[in-house]
Homo-oligomer: A and B are copies of this chain.
């Protein structure tokens, strides 16, 4: 039994508020338990210089945390004058994950920037960010379609994408770790999966002891279980058929 009463293969309460922002072309406030991430999608015509004239679009992401999202305050990266390694790494992960379900040719020479700002952090912020950014991305593409910035029938999104963390705590594989569990995990894995159930990213790290093949397999099983459920929630949020 886990501290918050969940079963080992149970997600925290997941809430997605679509269209949270009145300003962005797409947005979602996503909550994995006490973790809250505001995801916005900014659609602009044109692409970065290195991509011009190739008929393809660009999707990128930036992740950040408010200084007091966490239990003790962290100095702002803007004040430090540079972005830390963790921020860089997660921003790159989110961008890759979303690009995996985008047909950049169908997007045309347009750019979508996904901003994922963690308002409150309690573990799993990167996986919540990916899952929520997909909703903001879908909204922005819909917006672009309505504003005739992408072709009416173009399939810009080739699939959905969601992510979840799994880990081994005291020898037991568990799904969707809050901060309290995350710091105790011997192995920590973030898995990004498409709606079709294929892997986009598998990032497993031994925090304490190294893990064996059987443990890896159990973690992947749990992760697929979680992302399947997240996919259902995403479809419901977007009003799509299950």
Contacts and interface: CB of A to CB of B under 8 A. Distances in A.
Interface residues of A, number: 67
A100 interface: yes
Contacts of A177: none
B206 A70 contact: no
Contacts of A73: 42, 44, 113, 115
B202 A204 contact: yes
B23 A68 contact: yes
Contact of A92 (B77, B89, B198): B89
- Classify the interface of chain A: helix, strand, loop or mixed: mixed
Nearest to A92: B85
Given A88-B89, A92-B89, A23 B71 contact: yes
A97 to B, nearest CB: 9
Contact of A24 (B68, B203, B204): B68
A1 interface: no
Nearest to A70: B23
